Structure 1
């Protein structure tokens, strides 16, 4: 499979990932390093580990986008296009919160720590939900609940934001863009 095939597959299988990745352009944030997963048009997974030892036993999750500042993790972004159950949202939050390091061959397997203050942004695609669903309200409540328990002991995630995008995605994408600009300034 060549790069064009991967690009087409990403666009059809993960359209929201691609839209979010398009908001977060390298040119907009020149003092940050932006790492994008394959789903977001990048060329790698973005694994997070619980220890400085890189291995399957210490890898807790992969995120969709990662933003580094001064060689430390500043922002983690997780995008969910299909499975938006509370257990999925909370599980991704907790796995990220329990992780302390990003280690990847693209960084010469150097250990990159979480910064002193890390923001986790989760973006949920609600565009395919049935009308009058309680999922949006559930997500709003989940965001409040997660914000109430952070920071978690020994985790550097001290900021959490959950965006729920629906049919008016342009408005939601604009809100994400504004939030990122504030978080990165």
Structure 2
């Protein structure tokens, strides 16, 4: 099994196990992981630390203890952890930032599409297939570029974006649906 596959499996296991925690413990895990990421700890190491923190919290909860009793101040715990885990290398940091940029590229295209739609409505342009295609072009181009780059460089760039997981991905889907609804409304109003 490749290292990326092992890490993906660990992330999946962590997400499953994290669901068993109380809301307070999940909050502590999220704060701890975010703290470690902000301090430039290596992503792989953070995922293994997260696994250990989840296990500690699950064991403590089974004994009837709260997250504060188990870990105490999460910042102090994370500061100690930071001394033991490797820091994010310059190369890995660059790959992570590039991967993040290409992950958000379709959202940039969507914002461009919405802006074009507003500008067309502001000008008072009547709906036409041409106007709709023009306003959708940026989204399609940005998304195509992102998919091609992902397919070509997925082994060398880091495309895992922690803030896109969980409930936030539903917000991203809602933005896509909103943009599509705006295009439909533009069509209906323009006819």
Question: Does TM, scored on the shorter chain, surpass 0.5?
Answer: no
* Structure with higher helix content: 2
* Structure with higher strand content: 1
Larger radius of gyration: 2
TM-score, length-scaled by structure 1: 0.29
Structure number with greater CO (CA < 8 Å, separation at least 6) is: 2
TM-score, length-scaled by structure 2: 0.28
